[in-house]
């Protein structure tokens, strides 16, 4: 068996022993306990490492919790934003529906006004045609009456001239003064020589 010298590490001295070369060879350890090295180590480095590891685990847990809280708040904000967008879209759709309804109402009102205007135009055109027809119907009568009146006046003038021998101007004067009444006009013409008759003629002319 090979022999190792004493090993000293961090104040730990390993006892000298023979290293067995075979599994069946018994381990030859020193029998005297006093010959074993003392174990003098405070584990400060390990304690510090354990402390750091615990703090790291705590920090990692806190970071994980903060991350979860952030994700939760993010989801909540996203949900609120989605709800706001949904409400905005509903409001927009409602406004569009109201605008369409208002447009339909305006179109109906414009159509009703147009129909009323067309009806008024038709009635006015109908009245105009009726008026034209009435005028066309009454004009020949008026013309005929005017012709008859003129013919009657000419006849009266001729008779007045035959009876009195007066001029056309005198005939028109006396006849128009006495409303084309031949007898009164003749009496006034012949009565002009006397004072009373002349006065009567003047009165007739004044009328």
What tens digit of pLDDT does each residue of 110-139 get? 999 989 998 888 888 888 888 777 665 555
Residue 161 located in a structural domain: no
Residue 25 located in a structural domain: no
Do 84 and 57 reside in the same domain of the chain? yes
- Joined tokens for residue 44: 């400060």
- Contacts of residue 184, Cβ cutoff 8 Å, sequence gap at least 6: 178, 204
Domain boundary among 128, 154, 180: 154
Closest C-alpha among 151, 175, 171, 152 to residue 161: 171
Q: Is 8 left (phi over 0), alpha (psi -120 to 50) or beta?
A: beta
Do 82 and 173 reside in the same domain of the chain? no
190: containing domain: 166-207
- Contacts of residue 25, Cβ cutoff 8 Å, sequence gap at least 6: 1
Residue 65 located in a structural domain: yes
Do 60 and 150 reside in the same domain of the chain? yes
What's the burial of 156, exposed, middle or buried (CB within 10 Å: 0-12/13-18/19+)? middle
* 19 contacts 2 by C-beta, under 8 angstroms: yes
pLDDT, tens digit, for every residue of 140-188? 555 667 777 888 888 888 888 888 888 888 888 888 888 888 888 888 8
Nearest-angstrom CA–CA distance, 170 and 177: 10
Do 11 and 84 reside in the same domain of the chain? no
Number of domains in the chain: 3
* pLDDT given for residue 20 in this prediction: 57
Residue 68 located in a structural domain: yes
* pLDDT given for residue 103 in this prediction: 92
- As a whole number, the mean pLDDT across the chain is 76
């Amino acid at each position: 068996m090979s022999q190792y010298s004493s090993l000293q590490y961090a104040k730990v001295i390993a006892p000298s022993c023979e290293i067995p070369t075979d599994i069946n060879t018994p381990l030859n350890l020193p029998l005297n306990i006093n010959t074993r090295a003392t174990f003098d180590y405070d584990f400060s480095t390990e304690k510090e490492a354990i402390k750091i590891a615990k703090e790291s685990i705590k920090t990692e847990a806190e970071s994980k919790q903060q991350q979860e809280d952030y994700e939760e708040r993010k989801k909540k904000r996203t949900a609120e934003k989605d709800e706001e967008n949904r409400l905005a879209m509903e409001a927009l759709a409602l406004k569009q529906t109201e605008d369409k309804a208002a447009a339909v109402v305006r179109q109906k009102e414009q159509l009703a006004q147009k129909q009323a205007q067309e009806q008024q135009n038709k009635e006015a055109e109908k009245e105009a045609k009726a008026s034209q027809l009435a005028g066309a119907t009454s004009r020949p009568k008026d013309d005929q009456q005017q012709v008859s009146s003129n013919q009657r006046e000419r006849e009266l003038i001729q008779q007045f001239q035959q009876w009195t021998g007066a001029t056309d101007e005198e005939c028109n004067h006396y006849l128009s003064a006495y409303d084309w009444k031949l007898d009164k006009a003749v009496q006034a013409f012949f009565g002009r020589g006397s004072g009373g008759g002349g006065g009567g003629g003047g009165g007739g002319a004044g009328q």
